[in-house]
Amino acid sequence: MRWLTRHEPIFEEDGSELSEREKTRLLLGSLEETTFHRFVDSQRDVEDIYDVTFKETVAALTKIFGAQRSLMVQRQACFHISRSSGNWEDPLEYTNHIGQVVAGAKLATMTADEWSVFLFFRGLDAPGDAAAKIYLMQFTEMAERKGETITLSQIHDEWMRFVQIKQQTKIVATSKQNPQTPVEVWKLEASKTKRRENSKFTPKWGSSVLHRLKIHRLMVLSINNR
């Protein structure tokens, strides 16, 4: 909650003389009606919400109403801040916004791995990188929610896996659009079988012709012997 982030030091410093219960009552009393009722509904297991310490109440409010965006997304959003959008015409408001964004994105505590991943996504802006960037950012966000640390080499390996999947998908799609004509083996086999049967088959008229030739030869021999 931006409002809470901005005013928490006031409760801690200016309200240092207040008791925990008084600070909690003051904090919850500053919430909008709908926000307050939503918070109360989420704390049904708590017997008295005003008996909870101020810090515990802040933690509960942050969990319920805090930023849902991952740190990676918040850090990338830092580069999209611009006064030309017309959202921060007042110099003080713009300056405070920058401070809030930097604090919320935890830029001051970024490790070398986090900086590497941050710069990797920042420069992934070629015309054909859009799909890969969305995929890799989702991969990184899932790891972040699990509390896992992502390195640049892991991002690279996942990128190569994405490229392979994309290529395989394209090959499958192409094969579906241009299916090969199946070879009709059974027709070839049938043709071969038929030829073999024809080669073995002796026509009925063939035996008659041979018989006549034999008789003719015998008659010729008989005449010659005379």
35: left (phi over 0), alpha (psi -120 to 50) or beta: alpha
Average confidence (pLDDT) over 37-50: 87
Q: Where are the domains of the chain?
A: 2-65, 110-180, 187-225
Between 100 and 175, the more confident residue is 100
Give residue 171's pLDDT: 77
Q: What would the two tokens of residue 208 be?
A: 């008659």
What is the overall mean pLDDT for the chain? 77
Between 124 and 207, the more confident residue is 124
Residue 161 pLDDT grade (very low, low, confident, very high; cuts 50, 70, 90): very high
Which range among 8-17, 117-126, 139-148 has the greatest average pLDDT? 117-126
Mind giving me the DSSP string for the chain?
Answer: -HHHHHHHHIIIIITTTS-HHHHHHHHHHTS-HHHHHHHHHHTTT-S-GGGS-HHHHHHHHHHHHS--S-HHHHHHHGGG--GGGSS--SHHHHHHHHHHHHHHHTGGG--HHHHHHHHHHHH--STT-HHHHHHHHHHHHHHHHTTPPP-HHHHHHHHHHHHHHHHHHHHHHHHHHSPPPPP-HHHHHHHHHHHHHHHH---HHHHHHHHHHHHHHHHHHHHHH-
Average confidence (pLDDT) over 70-81: 82
Give residue 154's pLDDT: 95
The 10s digit of each residue's pLDDT in 27-43 is 888 777 878 888 888 88
Under 8 Å between Cβ of 37 and 15: no
Residue 157 pLDDT greater than 80, yes or no: yes
Give residue 221's pLDDT: 58
With pLDDT > 90 as the criterion, what percentage of the chain qualifies?
11
Residue 131 pLDDT grade (very low, low, confident, very high; cuts 50, 70, 90): confident
The 10s digit of each residue's pLDDT in 205-225 is 445 545 555 555 656 555 555
